[in-house]
C-alpha cells in the first residue's frame, strides 16, 4: 500500500489503544503521515499519538495536493466539521477506508480533542454531542464489526444484548488520562440515560437528564490501572431498559 499523499510505500506499525488492545496502522517514513482505519484515532491516548507522530520524515517538503485513498484511489477531502479544529488537517476516504493524518496532525487532533473537553468541563457547558469531539462516526452502528476487539461487551444474557443493541450503539470509550474517561453512545430514539457502576465504584450517574439521541459523560477521579464495569439505563418514554454489562480499564 502506498502513502495517500506522497505515494511511497507505507510501513505497518502496531499500537496499543486506550483500552489495551493492539491495532495496526500505516506509517509513511517519507512524509511522516499516518493512515488509520476509521475511528481508530478516537481510541488513542494523547501519549500514544505523541509517540506515533514523533517519526522523523525523510522529506520535509510539505505536499499541498489532496491525498488519494490508498485502497480505492478516491480523493480524500479534509474533515470540516466541529470535531477537527481549523488549524488541524485530517483527510478522510469518502468510502470510509480510513483517515489520513499528515505529519504532526494526529497529535494536534488529540490535543485539541482533550482541550475541548476540558474547556466544556471548566465552564460547565455541556457538550451537545459526542460528535463535537470524536472523528465523524457516520456508520456508528457498524462499529461492532469494524472494531470487535475494542468493544469489550460482557454479556449477561443473549436476550438483554439483543434488546440493548436494537436501541443503542455500543459505548465508545475515550480515556483522557489514567483517572478520566469519556463514554459516549447514541440511541436510535431520544432517551434519558444514566450509568450505574457494577464494579470498581458503587454509584449511578445521570448521563442525559433530558431526552436526546447523543449521550456523553466524563468520568473523573477514577483510580489508575483499574477495571470498571457498568450498565447503562436507557429510558425511552418512561420505560427504562438496562443494558448488559460493559467494561473499561483505566491506563
Ligand atoms: Zn507519505
Ligand atoms: Zn478509500
Domain harbouring 204, CATH code: 2.60.40.10
Average pLDDT along the chain: 81
Rounded to two decimals, what is the model's pTM? 0.61
The total of other beta-carbon atoms located within 10 Å of residue 138's CB is: 12
Q: What is the mean pLDDT of residues 119-132?
A: 68
Please check whether residue 44 lies inside any domain of the structure. yes
Q: Are residues 107 and 159 in the same domain?
A: no
Given a cut of 90, is residue 189 above it in pLDDT?
no
Which has more pLDDT, 154 or 178?
178
pLDDT, position 228: 93
Please check whether residue 198 lies inside any domain of the structure. yes
What's the CA gap between 248 and 174, in Å, rounded? 10
Q: Are residues 15 and 106 in the same domain?
A: yes
**Range in 114-118, 130-134, 214-218 with the lowest mean pLDDT:** 130-134
Contact (CB, 8 A) for 12 and 72 = no
Cα of 77 to ligand 2 centre, how many Å?
11
pLDDT, position 82: 80
Cα of 98 to ligand 2 centre, how many Å?
7
pLDDT, position 43: 80
Please check whether residue 189 lies inside any domain of the structure. yes
Cα of 73 to ligand 1 centre, how many Å?
15
What's the CA gap between 203 and 192, in Å, rounded? 17
pLDDT, position 186: 82
Please check whether residue 126 lies inside any domain of the structure. no
Cα of 35 to ligand 1 centre, how many Å?
10
In 3D space, the residue among 14, 26, 37 whose CA is nearest the CA of residue 148 turns out to be 37
Q: What is the mean pLDDT of residues 102-130?
A: 81
Q: Which helix (H) or strand (E) holds 46?
A: helix 46-52
Nearest ligand for residue 97 CA: 2
Among 117, 144, 175, give the residue marking a domain's end: 117
- Phi-psi category of residue 167: left, alpha or beta, with phi > 0 → left and psi -120 to 50 → alpha: alpha
Given a cut of 70, is residue 25 above it in pLDDT?
yes
Length of the chain: 251
Cell of 98: 480510513
Q: Are residues 95 and 34 in the same domain?
A: yes
Cα of 18 to ligand 1 centre, how many Å?
26
Whole domain around residue 29: which residue ranges?
A: 11-117
Please check whether residue 85 lies inside any domain of the structure. yes
Name, of 29-43, 57-71, 155-169, the range with top average pLDDT.
29-43
Q: Are residues 82 and 177 in the same domain?
A: no
Cell of 64: 499541498
**Each residue of 77-88: pLDDT tens digit?**
999 888 888 899
pLDDT, position 158: 39
pLDDT, position 6: 92
Looking at the structure of the chain, the number of domains it has is 2
Please check whether residue 18 lies inside any domain of the structure. yes
Cα of 70 to ligand 2 centre, how many Å?
7
Q: State the burial class of residue 86 (Cβ atoms within 10 Å of its Cβ: 0-12, 13-18, 19+).
A: exposed
Among 99, 117, 135, give the residue marking a domain's end: 117
Name, of 26-30, 78-82, 146-150, the range with top average pLDDT.
26-30
Please check whether residue 127 lies inside any domain of the structure. no
Cα of 26 to ligand 2 centre, how many Å?
14
Q: Are residues 182 and 236 in the same domain?
A: yes
Cα of 63 to ligand 1 centre, how many Å?
9
Q: Which helix (H) or strand (E) holds 123?
A: helix 105-123
Cα angle 168, 185, 216 (rounded to 5 degrees) comes to 140
Q: Are residues 157 and 102 in the same domain?
A: no
> In sequence order, what are the beta bridge partners of 136?
none
Given a cut of 80, is residue 247 above it in pLDDT?
yes
pLDDT, position 92: 94
Nearest ligand for residue 35 CA: 1
Among 94, 117, 140, give the residue marking a domain's end: 117
Amino acid at each position: 500500500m502506498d502513502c495517500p499523499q506522497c505515494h511511497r510505500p507505507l510501513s505497518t506499525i502496531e499500537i496499543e489503544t486506550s483500552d489495551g488492545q493492539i491495532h495496526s496502522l500505516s506509517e509513511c517514513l517519507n512524509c511522516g503521515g499516518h493512515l488509520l482505519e476509521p475511528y481508530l484515532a478516537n481510541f488513542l491516548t494523547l501519549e500514544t499519538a505523541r509517540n506515533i507522530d514523533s517519526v522523523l520524515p525523510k522529506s520535509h517538503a510539505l505536499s499541498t495536493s489532496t491525498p488519494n485513498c490508498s485502497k480505492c484511489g478516491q480523493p480524500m477531502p479534509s474533515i470540516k466539521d466541529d470535531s477537527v479544529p481549523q488549524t488541524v488537517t485530517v483527510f478522510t476516504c469518502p468510502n470510509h477506508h480510513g483517515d489520513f493524518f499528515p505529519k504532526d496532525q494526529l497529535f494536534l487532533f488529540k490535543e485539541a480533542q482533550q482541550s475541548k473537553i476540558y474547556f466544556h468541563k471548566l465552564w460547565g457547558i455541556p457538550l451537545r454531542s459526542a460528535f463535537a469531539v470524536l472523528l465523524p462516526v457516520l456508520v456508528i452502528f457498524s462499529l461492532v464489526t469494524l472494531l470487535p476487539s475494542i468493544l469489550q461487551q460482557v454479556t449477561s444474557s443473549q436476550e438483554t444484548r439483543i434488546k440493548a443493541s436494537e436501541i443503542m450503539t455500543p459505548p465508545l470509550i475515550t480515556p483522557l488520562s489514567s483517572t478520566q474517561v469519556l463514554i459516549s453512545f447514541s440511541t436510535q430514539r431520544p432517551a434519558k440515560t444514566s450509568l450505574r457502576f457494577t464494579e470498581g465504584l458503587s454509584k449511578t450517574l445521570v448521563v442525559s437528564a433530558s431526552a436526546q439521541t447523543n449521550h456523553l459523560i466524563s468520568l473523573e477521579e477514577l483510580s489508575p490501572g483499574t477495571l470498571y464495569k457498568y450498565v447503562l439505563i436507557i429510558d425511552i418514554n418512561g420505560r427504562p431498559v438496562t443494558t448488559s454489562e460493559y467494561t473499561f480499564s483505566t491506563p
